[in-house]
C-alpha cells in the first residue's frame, strides 16, 4: 500500500525567502509519480509540479522545484522567493503504476508573513 | 482553456434529501475521478472512471452513493438519502490515461462542491 507523510502541519516563512515543505512516501512499486498541489483558502486544488520515479533530474516549474531523493523516499517542495499569495495548504500526492489512484498526504499549511 | 467544471459550488440540504453533484471534465481527458475532502479524513478517492467505465469504486462509502458517466463530457455523483456525515467538499478531477500504460499525467481538479447536510 502507498503512503504519503507530510510531517509539518504548519510552516511560516518571511516574504521573499525560500521555504521547503517536506514529503516522504512509501511504496513497493518501482514506478510511480509524485505530485504537489496547492489549495488556497478559496478551496480549489491547483497542480504545481510533477516528478517521475525514473526522472534523472529534479523537476522545476518557475519558483517551484522538487528536491527528489529516491533512496530516502523523499520529494520535498521548495518555493523560492515566497510571495504573500503562496499562503495556502500544500498537498503531496503519489500515483502508482496503474495511474489511477492518487494518494494524498495530510497537507502543510504555509503562511507567508510580510 | 476551460478547466474541470463542477456544479453546484455550494449545496445545503436537509437530511434524507437526494443530492446530485455534476462534473464536466476537460475536453480530451478520458479519466474522471471523484474525491471527498473532510477535516477528519483528508482527501479520499471515491470512484474512478476510464473511458466512461467505472474502474475503481472501492472508495464509495456505501450504497447511498452512486456515480455515473453517461458520456465523455459529463458525470454525476448522487447521494440518496443524504446524511449529516456526508457533509464535505466533493471534488471532480480529470486527466488522460491509457489503461495498462505507465502514465503520470497530472489530475486537474474542479473548484469543488461544498455540501452541507443539515
pLDDT, tens digit (0-9, with 9 covering 90-100), for A14-33: 999 999 999 999 988 888 89
Residues of B in Cβ contact (< 8 Å) with A52: 104
Please name the residue of chain B whose CA is at the shortest distance from the CA of residue A53: B104
Q: Min CA distance, A33 vs chain B (Å)?
A: 6
- Judged by CB atoms closer than 8 Å, whether chains meet at B112 and A45 is answered as yes
| Alpha-carbon distances, residue A19 vs A16, A44, B18 (angstroms) | 10, 22, 45
Cell 503531496 found at: A92
* Model pLDDT for residues B76-117, shown as the tens digit of each residue: 999 999 999 999 999 999 998 776 666 678 899 999 999 999
Q: Closest approach of chain B CAs to the CA of A79, in angstroms?
A: 19
Burial of A36 (0-12, 13-18, 19+ CB in 10 A): buried
Nearest CA in chain B to A44: B111
Asked if residue A98 has pLDDT above 70, the reply is no
Span A70-82, pLDDT tens digits: 999 999 999 999 9
d(CA B59, CA A102): 12
**CB spacing of B102 vs A97 below 8 angstroms:** yes
Looking at residue A66, its pLDDT comes to 97
Cα→Cα distances A74→A2, A23, A31, A51, B83, Å: 13, 6, 15, 11, 39
Average pLDDT, chain A: 93
CB contact under 8 A, B89 and A43: yes
State whether A101 and B111 contact (CB < 8 Å).
Answer: no
Indicate the residue of B56, B106, B110 with minimum beta-carbon distance to A100: B56
| Whole-angstrom distance, CA of residue A51 vs CA of residue B104 | 9
Assess B22–A contact: CB distance below 8 Å, yes or no.
Answer: no
pLDDT value for A56? 86
Amino acid at each position: 500500500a502507498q503512503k504519503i507523510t507530510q510531517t509539518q502541519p504548519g510552516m511560516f516563512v518571511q516574504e521573499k525567502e525560500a521555504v521547503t515543505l517536506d514529503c516522504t512516501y512509501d511504496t513497493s512499486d518501482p514506478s510511480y509519480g509524485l505530485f504537489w498541489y496547492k489549495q488556497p483558502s478559496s478551496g480549489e486544488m491547483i497542480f504545481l509540479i510533477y516528478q517521475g520515479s525514473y526522472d534523472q533530474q529534479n523537476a522545476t516549474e518557475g519558483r517551484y522545484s522538487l528536491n527528489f531523493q529516491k533512496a530516502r523516499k523523499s520529494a520535498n517542495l521548495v518555493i523560492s522567493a515566497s510571495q504573500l499569495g503562496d499562503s495556502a495548504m500544500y498537498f503531496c500526492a503519489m500515483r502508482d503504476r496503474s495511474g489511477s489512484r492518487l494518494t494524498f498526504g495530510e497537507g502543510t499549511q504555509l503562511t507567508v508573513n510580510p | 482553456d476551460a478547466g474541470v467544471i463542477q456544479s453546484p459550488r455550494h449545496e445545503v440540504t436537509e437530511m434524507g434529501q437526494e443530492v446530485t453533484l455534476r462534473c464536466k471534465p476537460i475536453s480530451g481527458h478520458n479519466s474522471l475521478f471523484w474525491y471527498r475532502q473532510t477535516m477528519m479524513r483528508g482527501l479520499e478517492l471515491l470512484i474512478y472512471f476510464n473511458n466512461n467505465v467505472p474502474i475503481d469504486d472501492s472508495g464509495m462509502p456505501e450504497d447511498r452513493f452512486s456515480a455515473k458517466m453517461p458520456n465523455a463530457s459529463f458525470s454525476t455523483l448522487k447521494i440518496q438519502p443524504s446524511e449529516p456525515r456526508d457533509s464535505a467538499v466533493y471534488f471532480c478531477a480529470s486527466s488522460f490515461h491509457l489503461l495498462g500504460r505507465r502514465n503520470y499525467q497530472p489530475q486537474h481538479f474542479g473548484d469543488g462542491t461544498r455540501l452541507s447536510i443539515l
